[in-house]
Amino acid sequence: MMKIALFGAGNVASHLYRAFSEGNYATVSQLFSRDPAKADFVSSETEVIADYAQLKDADLYLLAVSDDGIAEIAEKLEDRGNLVAHTSGSTGMEVLKKFQQHGVFYPLQTFSKNRELDYRTIPFCLEANSEENLEELKDLAKSISEAIYEVNSDQRRGLHLSAVFVNNFSNHLFTLGNSICKDKNLDFKILQPLIKETVSKLDVLLPADAQTGPALRNDQETIQKHLNSLTGDRKLVYKTLTDSIQKFHGKKL
Amino acid sequence: MMKIALFGAGNVASHLYRAFSEGNYATVSQLFSRDPAKADFVSSETEVIADYAQLKDADLYLLAVSDDGIAEIAEKLEDRGNLVAHTSGSTGMEVLKKFQQHGVFYPLQTFSKNRELDYRTIPFCLEANSEENLEELKDLAKSISEAIYEVNSDQRRGLHLSAVFVNNFSNHLFTLGNSICKDKNLDFKILQPLIKETVSKLDVLLPADAQTGPALRNDQETIQKHLNSLTGDRKLVYKTLTDSIQKFHGKKL
């Protein structure tokens, strides 16, 4: 069994812990957290520690902490010659360069602590400073998921940025949609079949080919009616995205 | 059986035709289209016509045409005393007021001609000028779907606007996400599990409670890195939506 010392007790760490526990390829021997009370998800097999001096040898030190946390641990952690990897989308691999063996083990998903996920579909984006270390991370990822990708730091930063657009920003559009419903005393669940179909279409169409609506068909009458009914922030978002759709699809007058 | 004369041969008309045909509550006796060649989805039970003079009596004249088309038909169509309804989200019921019996039969979904849909989950938003007409539309909607809502014209306009945010605008964010992937030589399918989870969360959380990301936690370092890596349109969309998230969640510095 691969022996892992896992750093962090947040959403990513708790889900990776659960994913490793479900398989029998790797075991988390120690969990390092500045706040051990947060590590309430570990079983008795795992020792919870908060002190670098208590850290034992492991095949992999896996840093599932915030970007600031990675930099701090990289500074304080001694290089023992074993593999050290972080799980961040927005942090380059070079932050770990003081360790002879290093890499990145980035699961591209949004993690909420109490939500069940199907780990087998989560894309793992891997990078390492040697072919051997990459293979080691690949074998670990394969024990959890069926979606393994090799991506470099520049690509990973692109994925993370792209994830902000498709996840954070889309979710905010759902929030604005919900706020319009609330103003009209309507239940947001009326919109859910539409949202689900919007996403289901991506199974067979590229998003650019699935685009519809007043912006795409340059329906100025509807666009003006909508703009007139909006104020402040929602109006600015409407205008910016309508312009962007028209520029992208070459419909700008 | 309820006898319907259906106006239109586009996406909405073709899907409603299919939905009615699958049930045995209503039958489309005539389909009116200015371009009969487009009505290639009808069976031999249905007469395709392009001339108002050929129009026969029916229980319902259902106008599944563009907003401009509704106004044109409302002008040219004689009132025979039967129920006349349109299927538009953005057009008020009053456009049909010359007809003694009138209403709205709005399916809130995005329709693509060759895509199969589960009609039972599509929300039908209904309005009519009398309780009796409303019941008639309700019975028809119930023969297709399990999601029936009574909404007035003002609410329906709100739903249509909301649909632009959650469907058209979200889809454009997927397009921008895809374009970032393309620049980095990455397959967009890496992002699909994330997109699916973003939407699945809405089954249990309101979108405002599901919000995550650098804007929400006011992670200025990441926001600046992202802005520096973007230009033009994508940058403007990033800035506008980041500001909007921070304003909505009260994180603005």
On whether any CB of chain A is under 8 Å from the CB of B225, the answer is: yes
Interface of B with A in 85-124 (CB under 8 A): 90, 108-110, 112, 115, 117, 121-123
On whether any CB of chain A is under 8 Å from the CB of B66, the answer is: no
With cut-offs at 50, 70 and 90, classify the pLDDT of residue A70: very high
ipTM greater than 0.95: no
CA distance A185 to chain B (A): 8
Which residues does A51 contact at the CB level (< 8 Å), separation at least 6? none
On whether any CB of chain A is under 8 Å from the CB of B216, the answer is: yes
On whether any CB of chain A is under 8 Å from the CB of B4, the answer is: no
Q: β-strands B123-128, B101-107: how paired?
A: antiparallel
* Best residue of A91, A154, A164, A234 to probe chain B, by most B CBs closer than 10 Å: A164
CATH 3.40.50.720 in chain B, residue ranges = 2-151
Nearest by CB: B90 against A171, A191, A222: A222
Three-state secondary structure call for residue B2: strand
On whether any CB of chain A is under 8 Å from the CB of B223, the answer is: no
Extended strands (E) in chain B: 2-7, 26-32, 47-49, 60-63, 83-86, 101-107, 123-128, 147-150
B174–A176: do the CB atoms touch at under 8 Å? Answer: no
With cut-offs at 50, 70 and 90, classify the pLDDT of residue A113: confident
On whether any CB of chain A is under 8 Å from the CB of B54, the answer is: no
**DSSP state at residue A168:** I
pLDDT in tens, A119-176: 999 999 999 999 999 999 999 999 999 999 999 999 999 999 999 999 999 999 999 9
A245–B207: do the CB atoms touch at under 8 Å? Answer: no
* Residue whose C-alpha is closest to residue A85's, from A57, A132, A126: A126
d(CA B26, CA B43): 14
With cut-offs at 50, 70 and 90, classify the pLDDT of residue A115: confident
CATH of A2-151, one of 3.30.70.260, 1.20.1740.10, 3.40.50.2000, 3.40.50.720: 3.40.50.720
* Best residue of A216, A242, A244 to probe chain B, by most B CBs closer than 10 Å: A244
Q: What is the side-by-side order of every strand in the sheet holding B147-150? A: B47-49, B26-32, B2-7, B60-63, B83-86, B101-107, B123-128, B147-150
Give the number of C-alpha atoms closer than 13 A to the C-alpha of residue A127, restricted to the C-beta side: 20
Fold of A157-248: N-(1-d-carboxylethyl)-l-norvaline Dehydrogenase; domain 2 (1.10.1040)
pLDDT at res. A21? 96
For residues A57-62, average pLDDT: 98
From chain A, pick out residues whose CB is under 8 angstroms from the CB of B89.
none
A198–B248: do the CB atoms touch at under 8 Å? Answer: no
With cut-offs at 50, 70 and 90, classify the pLDDT of residue A253: very low
Nearest by CB: B173 against A115, A169, A195: A169
Nearest by CB: A237 against B110, B204, B240: B240
pLDDT at res. B159? 97
The residue in chain A having the minimum alpha-carbon distance to the alpha carbon of residue B107 is: A194
Burial A102-116 (b: 16+ CB within 10 A, else e): bbbbbbbbbbbeeee
From chain B, pick out residues whose CB is under 8 angstroms from the CB of A186.
151, 155, 158-159, 162
Give the number of C-alpha atoms closer than 13 A to the C-alpha of residue B105, restricted to the C-beta side: 30
Number of helices followed by number of strands (H, E) in chain B: 9, 8
The residue in chain B having the minimum alpha-carbon distance to the alpha carbon of residue A246 is: B172
Nearest by CB: B202 against A125, A176, A192: A192
B207–A171: do the CB atoms touch at under 8 Å? Answer: yes
Sequential pLDDT tens for chain B (253 residues): 999 999 999 999 999 999 999 999 999 999 999 999 999 999 999 999 999 999 999 999 999 999 899 999 999 999 999 999 999 999 999 999 999 999 999 999 998 877 889 999 999 999 999 999 999 999 999 999 999 999 999 999 999 999 999 999 999 999 999 999 999 999 999 999 999 999 999 999 999 999 999 999 999 999 999 999 999 999 999 999 999 999 999 965 4
3-state helix, strand, coil in chain B (%, to 5): 50, 15, 35
From chain A, pick out residues whose CB is under 8 angstroms from the CB of B222.
67, 90
**DSSP state at residue B57:** P
CA distance A133 to chain B (A): 22
On whether any CB of chain A is under 8 Å from the CB of B197, the answer is: yes
On whether any CB of chain B is under 8 Å from the CB of A148, the answer is: no
pLDDT at res. A34? 92
B166–A157: do the CB atoms touch at under 8 Å? Answer: no
pLDDT at res. B115? 84
Give the sign of the dihedral formed by CA A28, CA A29, CA A32, CA A35: positive
On whether any CB of chain A is under 8 Å from the CB of B37, the answer is: no
On whether any CB of chain B is under 8 Å from the CB of A223, the answer is: no
CATH 1.10.1040.20 in chain A, residue ranges = 157-248
A181–B164: do the CB atoms touch at under 8 Å? Answer: no
d(CA A83, CA A137): 9
B197–A109: do the CB atoms touch at under 8 Å? Answer: yes
CA distance B48 to chain A (A): 27
